Structure 1
């Protein structure tokens, strides 16, 4: 297995989060008129040729049936169910509360990385992870709606996403990142089609819970602008999937996961330029905490690597 490249992992992770955040903005724009499964079906159909081309260029089409395909598909199922749970949770509770619960994800990664991957989570990483979580909570200022029953969906989303991203580190040992992204997209598409078939047959118009209403809304033909937005969503998410896989291949899961906190920076920027939301002081202070936590972890890891490298010649001489 190749050596870790932490700086490259950070660049991949931050780029993936940025692209995903742009995709989330598109979903937010579309969510008032379309069901989640319609958006997912169109998104995934657009992603298939893009991901196929990336697989062909980076590896080979034969890698799609590599020995680790089964584990890759299992990871895709866990990730797609986690994403669906998160989308449904924000339909029924304030976004800040849902995100606050979801961003327990890096802490869960740190806890499960040891049993699943045999990774040792150093003390300085625990400090950075907890500091990043504090920064996110400062930014989003969760309110009293945290105990809405839909909070369980957000909690599952955090757990499911943590498991799937931890498994990514294991999967890419046998499956190329682009192939893993293709598998994930295929599972997303399969799940969306199943949901579309189920809720086309069911009449849940009498159910008033917002999560169920968002899931059960009927399909209708999109306008040209909305269809263009769905095309954009499919292409951006396809590239984000590959970048996430490459990030978790390039460094340990417990190192990469906290950099997904950078989603709050992208959310603030996109909120300002797309929706006219002006970041407040809590966003700025919380963002500063997240940035310092990430820089601290990078510095501590590089210092640890230098000490290990410096000690090796001494052991050899001894």
Structure 2
């Protein structure tokens, strides 16, 4: 049964750098591994198998480096009925990585170029933008308005480098500032300790399947209007420390398949940013909805930390410290029992 909560599947489609080494679209967007592709096309395959479409925030300024290859990626996404919107990592054309490194006038020019590139390729301008690394500020919103872009999706509460949190006191609720609608990347709390809360982005690679499902269920129960799920074009890949050897990440692929299976079984509505813009264009700001921040709890966080123990130092610290605390508690209980018996 549909509850009024819509899920938006968003994919940041981009190449990258490792130090001074460029990691090209063949790896980071196409996801080529031994003759197979595990990148953006595989994401579309999985979505289509469940009857869904995704929004691809494509870093079109990469065409300055990689030429027609980026245009062909945009056309492939568009022709299959998925949604192409603007993603901005200015490093490819303007020498600096983050939008927040630029003035309003400079950001306006960057976004204008991105809009013109998409218009020339697809015959229409984008309606939504996401700043690379969520690095957006007030000037970014002004620059989007200057270029006629209705929606921004760069707010990710608690994400280092995102400078929008002060403009939007809500975490997950839509907001409105500088003439632009903000549809945040959905966050949830994984830990609470008194006033302290640790937030996590609803990212396929950063969350367990149980967390993904729990957040959607709690968002529906709480009346959150949009749940924005984040992926990257390389979400189904893993690589060595030097980013020289790439391999498929079957576990992440299966997790995504199972998550979409859950959305289909529960009849959760999945829409694109393009569809979202059509629905919102004539609505008043008063209909932005409620703000809800789902809480998944300590046990789910601990289970993920152990499962992904080797993935990051944060997981290792959390898992080891939790285990140490648990063993210390057992030792105290045993000591108390022995003292009582004596």
Larger Rg: 2
TM-score (norm 1): 0.25
TM-score (norm 2): 0.23
Name the structure with the higher strand share.
2
Task: Name the structure, 1 or 2, with higher relative contact order (CA <8 Å, separation 6+).
Answer: 1
